[in-house]
Structure formats: structure tokens, C-alpha cells
């Protein structure tokens, strides 16, 4: 049963609060205060049409250092109360499966994760670790969200770069030996029935999720260590960190796509052009885990796709959504999606000022023409957050606060790299007559008309749904402060490269030692992933090819490349679709 729409006044209030929140995010990077006169005077909606992105008035954006300010004692105390309660509740339930608590791993807005393990009481101990996750909040919505996260995680069963669900340990007989010696709680008369078995509520784990344990922690932990030791990530490691691409085709719903492959499946991109609306919304260093090669039986020297670095896995699908068309037409749901991210990791589809010009009680899909950025959620939203993670690794800091856009030049697209939602003019059909040798001469020629007929007017081809876009900012006039973005362009830039707005322009500054030490092709690729307009972000198939090509150029060869993907540079159709794009076939190879 569909949820009831909120009252008109409530929906308008949600819209205004959301617009004001991201106005503060874009200009100051601070949390909003709705009790100030500025909120009451905030225009809603803003008059006129969205003028497009322009230079921010406060270019003094800062890069927050890792690991960031620690939480205050009061914040920790307020958070710990529900977390400890949830952990004790789960530990009591898992006692029926002889699982022991090891340590707490972390907690978020609704969930808590802890490390539990099972082992024999005598050698060989055969310890098995589990990440146990549960809610620390009560209510129907929390239970529904948790069940949805568990089912979503199961969609990526056997995906190489996604955290996997573990099998549920079986219920064990109630222990009869000394419980204190074995680290178990004292017996409780209410814990078992007359037959000495666990009661159903003690064995119920419907609100618990068992996940695999990645022994090396997360990229956040690696970042903190690198900053503490004043080290850097090697170029080789940065090129190979290309996780999070498993979001494209879940094996559970694309079984035929992985047919004949060995498990775990190395994620592949289909040769056909298929768009996907599966969004993670929470891709950040804390949610990208580093596996232990030995525990997974991974050989760093021979494991295809992961030479010299451990395997990375994406976790925490609590905010993930598989969007359908009706979701985009629901203004309330779109406002909900706008808030699904952590500070510093919002995408332009969420924080762009284009939202402020939408009419009251209307979502991005409720007004023609469709906005280019606002609410234009898709796999490119995931790609933007992946770009933010890579920017963190390069800069060894959080993304700029507030977000700061600069204009950069990027390689033009090839028509063969576009997706099915990149509607481009169809190819012209070959109207030339075939060779007479191929004709069927037995067919009689059509009779001439009795009276001359005027030739019909040529039919104009249907315009594409989305015209190829010109470069951004070239015709917008001067900007304030003066445009110094030319310093971001390197020798690889060609005259036909379009000029676009990107939130990763700071990575191309050659006078900044932290960025200059990293291969420029990699920095340019990350900056392109951080384009304001999703249209200008690289396509997944081409992105994967560019990453592998960059590794090949350095001599870090991935032997499994041609077998898995094929060389997309060999496509016959290399037409470029930008208005100002030339015919240089070496554009993508030269950088």
C-alpha cells in the first residue's frame, strides 16, 4: 500500500528547509539553523530560471584534514546508550549459537556493527569471525529499512567487490559446563524451557545480519595511518583502487551476464548500452573495506585484477535504492533522496542550486524541461562519490568545504562509449542502391503512375531527446573573481576538448606538491568523475578501459583485461558527439 502524501503545507516546509540546508552547504559548509531571520527571509522558490553554475563567492574553501575532529564527550555519551543496549540484546541472542563478542566495530545513525566469533573449546579451535549488524533504534521504519538492507546486500551475492552475507550459525544445545570458565553469562531460569533448550525469543535473529569480516579495516583507517606517518599512497596503488563498480549489475538479477564465470564474479560491464538506477548514496572511505589476502586465499601476484594490493569491497547498503520511473515523479521521495549522504560526500544532483528554482510542491521531473543536474540520479551519482573517495586518497584530506567548482577541459566523448540514456541522433541509413548482381531480376518493375505526382516533402528526422551539450561557461561571460582556471590545463589538452565545471579542479594544480606527485592522467580522470553536470562524467565502460590503459602505460599489466572486457578502442564507430569535438582519433590515447 502506497504511503499517503504529506499535507500541502508540510511538503512546502520540507522543500524550503531542504533548499536552505543546501544553500548553507554550498556557501559556508555549515549545518543549517532554521531559527534565524535568514531562513524566514529565504526566497522560496527563487524567481526566474536557474542561471547555471557560476564562480562561488567564497573561493576560500578548505580541505578538512584526516581524521577530522573527534566527537565530544557528550556526543559519545548520547550515542553510546542505545548502542550498548543493542549490543547486549544481540549478544544475548547469539549465545544460543555459541557466538562470543570480540569488540565493537562502529555505529551509525540507525545501526551498530560488532565483531563476534565462534570457535571450538579445544584445539583445533577453528575460529570463525562474523560482523554482526543490527539496529539500535526501534520502530517499524527501522525494521523495514534493516530488512531492505539485508535483501539488497543479498542481490550482490558472489560479487568480488561487494561485502558478502555469511551463513547463519546453527543453534547449539544449551551448555551444561561451567559458564563462567567459558565466558558465558550465568544461567537464567527464563532462558530455557523444561527440556533444556533455548526459548524462541533467544534463538530469533530476524533483526540481525551476518556479514563477512575484512581484517584490514577500511580505506578510512588506511588514510588515517598514511596521514599520521606522513606517507603517501603510491601511484601504482591509486591506479588499482577502482572498486565500487559492482553497483552496475547485481549477479542476483543478472545471472546470464555471469554465466560460465568462476565465483566470486569479477564485475563486468555488458557490451550493450544499459542504464541502471541502482544508487548507493553512501560511498565514502569508511565504507570501502580492505580484505586480508591470506584469509581469502588471494594470491597478490596472480589474482587477476588485484596484483600487489588487497581486494577492496564496498559495504553498508543501508541507504541504497533501486530507483524506478515513478520514484522520480514523487516530490516527497525526491526530497528524501536529496538528504541521503554524509557531509562532504553529497553529489551535485543533491546540492545544486537548480533545486531552488523548482515551483512549490513540485519535484525535478514535474516541470519541463527536465533539469540537467537537480535530481538527475543514476549510476553517475555513484561515480561522483567514487571520485570523491579517490580525491581523498590523492589529497590525503576530505573534499573541499564548501564544495568549490572550477572549469577544466576534458576529452570529448565517443559515440560508441555513450549509454542508452545519452540520446544521440541515429545513424543515417545507407540509401545507395545495391549491386545489380544482388538483385532479384525475376521481380517485375513497378508500373509508372498514371498521372504525375508531386514529390513529398522530405521528412525531418525526429530530434534526439537530449541534444549533445555545448561546453559549459564559454558563453557565460566573465566570472568573479577573475578566471585563473587556465593554469589547470596541462599539455594533454587539445583545442577540441570541451570546457566544463568540475569539483575536482584543485587536483590538477601542478603547483600543489600533494597533487603533482600523482600521475596527471589519473588526476584528470578523477576530476572528470567530479563534473557538476552528470552528462560530462565518464561512462563506465570507457572509465574501466582508461584505468586499465593507464596501468598498462606504467607497465603494470593486467592480464585479464582483454578476456573480460575486450578493447573498446577498437570500435568501428568512433564518432564524437560534442558540438565542438574534432575528428582526432588519438584524443583519448594522447593523455
pLDDT, tens only, 405-464? 999 999 888 777 776 556 554 454 454 544 444 444 434 444 444 444 444 444 444 433
pLDDT at 479 over 50: no
Non-local (6+) Cβ contacts of 407 within 8 A are: 472, 473, 483, 485, 499, 500, 501, 502, 505
Each residue's pLDDT tens digit, 404-421: 899 999 988 877 777 655
Query: What does the pLDDT read at residue 275?
Result: 54
Residue 114 lies in a domain: yes
Q: Is 447 helix (H, G, I), strand (E, B) or coil?
A: coil
75-79, 342-346, 359-363, 510-514, range with the lowest pLDDT: 75-79
Query: What does the pLDDT read at residue 35?
Result: 94
Q: At 51, list the grid cell.
A: 542561471
Nearest CA to 367 out of 39, 45, 21, 54 is that of: 45
Domain that holds residue 99: 73-174+197-211
Non-local (6+) Cβ contacts of 290 within 8 A are: 214, 216, 217, 218, 219, 221, 222, 310, 311, 312
- Supply angle C-alpha 25, 28, 32, rounded to 5: 55
Residue 166 burial by CB count (10 A; 0-12/13-18/19+): exposed, middle or buried? middle
% of the chain exceeding 70 in pLDDT:
67
Q: Looking at per-residue confidence, does 325 or 3 come out higher? A: 325
Residue 158 lies in a domain: yes
Q: Helix 520-529 to helix 540-553 angle, to the nearest 10 degrees? A: 170
| Alpha-carbon span 100 to 117, nearest angstrom | 5
pLDDT at 212 over 90: yes
| Alpha-carbon span 123 to 130, nearest angstrom | 20
CB atoms within 10 A of CB 110: 17
pLDDT at 135 over 80: yes
Mean pLDDT value across residues 375-385: 91
DSSP at 247 = G
Q: What is the CATH number of the domain that holds 118?
A: 3.30.200.20
DSSP string, 510-537: TT-HHHHTS-HHHHHHHHHHTBSSGGGS
Give the helix ranges, DSSP H, for 344-486: 348-351, 379-395
**Confidence grade of residue 139 (pLDDT, cut at 50, 70, 90):** confident
pLDDT at 296 over 60: no
Q: Is 342 helix (H, G, I), strand (E, B) or coil?
A: coil
**Confidence grade of residue 325 (pLDDT, cut at 50, 70, 90):** confident
Residue 239 lies in a domain: no
Residue 97 lies in a domain: yes
Query: What does the pLDDT read at residue 257?
Result: 65
Extract the annotated binding site. 133
Give the position of cell 587536483: 507
**N- to C-terminal Cα distance for the chain?**
53
Query: What does the pLDDT read at residue 13?
Result: 93
244-248, 374-378, 402-406, range with the lowest pLDDT: 244-248
Q: Tell me the average pLDDT of the chain.
A: 75
Mean pLDDT value across residues 303-312: 64
Query: What does the pLDDT read at residue 564?
Result: 41
Mean pLDDT value across residues 137-152: 83
Judge if the upstream peptide bond of residue 421 is cis by omega within 30 degrees of 0.
no
Q: Is 118 helix (H, G, I), strand (E, B) or coil?
A: strand
Phi/psi region, residue 71 (left: phi>0; alpha: psi -120 to 50; beta: rest), is beta
Query: Could you give the C-alpha distances from 159 to 292, 312, 383, 387, 486, in angstroms and in order?
Result: 17, 11, 18, 21, 42
Residue 335 lies in a domain: no
Per the CB < 8 A criterion, the answer to whether 282 and 384 are in contact is no
Residue 330 lies in a domain: no
Extract the annotated binding site for ATP. 133
DSSP string, 39-96: HHT--SSPSS--------S----B-PBSS-PPPPHHHHHHHHHHHHHHHHHHHHHHGG
Query: How many domains are there within the chain?
Result: 1
Give the position of cell 570500435: 571
Q: Looking at per-residue confidence, does 414 or 288 come out higher? A: 288
Residue 49 lies in a domain: no
Residue 24 lies in a domain: no
Query: What does the pLDDT read at residue 6?
Result: 61
Amino acid at each position: 500500500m502506497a504511503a499517503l502524501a504529506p499535507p500541502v503545507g508540510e511538503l512546502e516546509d520540507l522543500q524550503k528547509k531542504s533548499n536552505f540546508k543546501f544553500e548553507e552547504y554550498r556557501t559556508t559548509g555549515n549545518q543549517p539553523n532554521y531559527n534565524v531571520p535568514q531562513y524566514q527571509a529565504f526566497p522560496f522558490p527563487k524567481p526566474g530560471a536557474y542561471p547555471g553554475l557560476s564562480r562561488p563567492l567564497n573561493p576560500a574553501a578548505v580541505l578538512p584534514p584526516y581524521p577530522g575532529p573527534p566527537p565530544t564527550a557528550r556526543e559519545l555519551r548520547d550515542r553510546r546508550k542505545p548502542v550498548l543496549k543493542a549490543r547486549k540484546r544481540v549478544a544475548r541472542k547469539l549465545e544460543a549459537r555459541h557466538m562470543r563478542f570480540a569488540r565493537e566495530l562502529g555505529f551509525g545513525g540507525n545501526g551498530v556493527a560488532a565483531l563476534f566469533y565462534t570457535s571450538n573449546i579445544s584445539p583445533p579451535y577453528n575460529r570463525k569471525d562474523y560482523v554482526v549488524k543490527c539496529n539500535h533504534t526501534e520502530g517499524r521504519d527501522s525494521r523495514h529499512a534493516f530488512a531492505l538492507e539485508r535483501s539488497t546486500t543479498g542481490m550482490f551475492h558472489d560479487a568480488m567487490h561487494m561485502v558478502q552475507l555469511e551463513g547463519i550459525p546453527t543453534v547449539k544445545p544449551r551448555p551444561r559446563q561451567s559458564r563462567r570458565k567459558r565466558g558465558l553469562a550465568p544461567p537464567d531460569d527464563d532462558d530455557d524451557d523444561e527440556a533444556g533448550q533455548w526459548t524462541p525469543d533467544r534463538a530469533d535473529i530476524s533483526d540481525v545480519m551476518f556479514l563477512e569480516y575484512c581484517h584490514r579495516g577500511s580505506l578510512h583507517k588506511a588514510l588515517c595511518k598514511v596521514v599520521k606517518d606522513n606517507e603517501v599512497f603510491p601511484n601504482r596503488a591509486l591506479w588499482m583502487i577502482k572498486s565500487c563498480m559492482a553497483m552496475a549489475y547485481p549477479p542476483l538479477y543478472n545471472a546470464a551476464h555471469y554465466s560460465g564465470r568462476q565465483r566470486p564474479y569479477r564485475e563486468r560491464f555488458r557490451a550493450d548500452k544499459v542504464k541502471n538506477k541502482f544508487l548507493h548514496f553512501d560511498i565514502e572511505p569508511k565504507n570501502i573495506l580492505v580484505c586480508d589476502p591470506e584469509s581469502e586465499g588471494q594470491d597478490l601476484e596472480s589474482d587477476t585484477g588485484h596484483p600487489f594490493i588487497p581486494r577492496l569491497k564496498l559495504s553498508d547498503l543501508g541507504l541504497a535504492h533501486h530507483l524506478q520511473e515513478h520514484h522520480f515523479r514523487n516530490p516527497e521521495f525526491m526530497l528524501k533522496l536529496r538528504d541521503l549522504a554524509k557531509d562532504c560526500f553529497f553529489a551535485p544532483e543533491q546540492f545544486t542550486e537548480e533545486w531552488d528554482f523548482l515551483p512549490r510542491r513540485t519535484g525535478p521531473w514535474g516541470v519541463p524541461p527536465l533539469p540537467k543536474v537537480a535530481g538527475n540520479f543514476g549510476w553517475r551519482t555513484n561515480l561522483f562519490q567514487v571520485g570523491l573517495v579517490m580525491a581523498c586518497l590523492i589529497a590525503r584530506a576530505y573534499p573541499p568545504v564548501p564544495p568549490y567548482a572550477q572549469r577544466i577541459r576534458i576529452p570529448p566523448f565517443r559515440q560508441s562509449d555513450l549509454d542508452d540514456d545519452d540520446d544521440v541522433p541515429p545513424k543515417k541509413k545507407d540509401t545507395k542502391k545495391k549491386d545489380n548482381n544482388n538483385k532479384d531480376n525475376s521481380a517485375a518493375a513497378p508500373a509508372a503512375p498514371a498521372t504525375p505526382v508531386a514529390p513529398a516533402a522530405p521528412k525531418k528526422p525526429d530530434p534526439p531527446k537530449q541534444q549533445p551539450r555545448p561546453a559549459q561557461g564559454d558563453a557565460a561571460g566573465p566570472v568573479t573573481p577573475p578566471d585563473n582556471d587556465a593554469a589547470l590545463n596541462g599539455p594533454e589538452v587539445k583545442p577540441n576538448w570541451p570546457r566544463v565545471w568540475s569539483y575536482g579542479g584543485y587536483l590538477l594544480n601542478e603547483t600543489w606538491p600533494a597533487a603533482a606527485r600523482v600521475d596527471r592522467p589519473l588526476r584528470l580522470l578523477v576530476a572528470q568523475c567530479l563534473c557538476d553536470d552528470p552528462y560530462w562524467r565518464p561512462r563506465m565502460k570507457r572509465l574501466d578501459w582508461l584505468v586499465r590503459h593507464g596501468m598498462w602505460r606504467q607497465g603494470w599489466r593486467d592480464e585479464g583485461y582483454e578476456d573480460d572486457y575486450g578493447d573498446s578502442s577498437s570500435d568501428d564507430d568512433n564518432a564524437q558527439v560534442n558540438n565542438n569535438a574534432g575528428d582526432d582519433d588519438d584524443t583519448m590515447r594522447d593523455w
